[in-house]
Amino acid sequence: MLPGGSATPPPFCFLYSLTMEFAMHHYRSLICTTLLLLASSQALAQMPRLELTAGFHRIEAEVAADQANRMQGLMHRRSMPANQGMLFVFTQADRHCMWMRNTLLPLSVAFLDEQGRILNIEDMKPETETNHCATGPARFALEMNLGWFSSKGLKPGLRIGGIEKSPRPQ
């Protein structure tokens, strides 16, 4: 029995209850989304960095040496500074392929052999699932802004320096 002797609540109580449920649901969703974003930004922040060289050009590369970081790659990034990129370290040399799902930046990827020599360079369009594959057994892939390699005159056969300092893949 409610105050005033009525057995049924007034209609505004039902609306208040629905509004509170709706608000709590959105509040929980907001908290979960915030926690996920913090976790993913911390994972990105924890990627090691490595200085590489291509001829006399200096590259500051984030290193994706474990499966989670290799899967994340450069997804969802809106920009990347000049002369920065991402080095993917694979567990074994193979004809690895890359794609651009959820990747907003146009990129060029150089597939590298065990010694860091460029096997081939592929240009990749944003948000596509086209496979871009190494022409031979690649142990590494280096992603840079679109056209970076060609603008520097870098071609297959050139050795990328500093690869030997990359962390062991996991």
* Long-range interactions of 76-82: CB distance < 8 A, separation 24+: 76/102, 76/103, 76/104, 77/103, 77/104, 77/105, 78/104, 78/105, 79/105, 80/105, 80/145, 82/145, 82/148
Tens-of-pLDDT digits for all 170 residues of the chain? 555 565 655 555 555 555 556 555 555 554 545 444 444 444 445 799 999 999 999 999 999 999 999 999 999 999 999 999 999 999 999 999 999 999 999 999 999 999 999 999 999 999 999 999 999 999 999 999 999 999 999 999 999 999 999 999 98
DSSP bridge partners of 60: 51, 84
Residues 97 and 149 in one domain: yes
Q: Which residues have CB under 8 Å from 141's CB, separation 6+?
A: 87, 88, 90, 96, 98, 109, 110, 111, 112, 134
State which residues form the domain around 29.
8-46
Closest CA to 167 of 110, 88, 92: 88
Nearest CA to 87 among 121, 61, 117? 61
Residue-level length of the chain: 170
Which pair of structure tokens corresponds to residue 70?
């290799």
Q: How many CB atoms lie within 10 A of CB 101?
A: 10
Residues 15 and 41 in one domain: yes
The reply to whether 96 and 139 lie within a common domain is yes
Number of domains making up the chain = 2
> Is 70 in the same domain as 141?
yes
Tokens 């870098």 correspond to: 154
pTM of the shown model? 0.74
The answer to whether the CB of 86 falls within 8 A of the CB of 128 is no
Q: Are strands 57-64 and 84-94 parallel, antiparallel or unpaired?
A: parallel
* Same domain flag for 86 and 142: yes
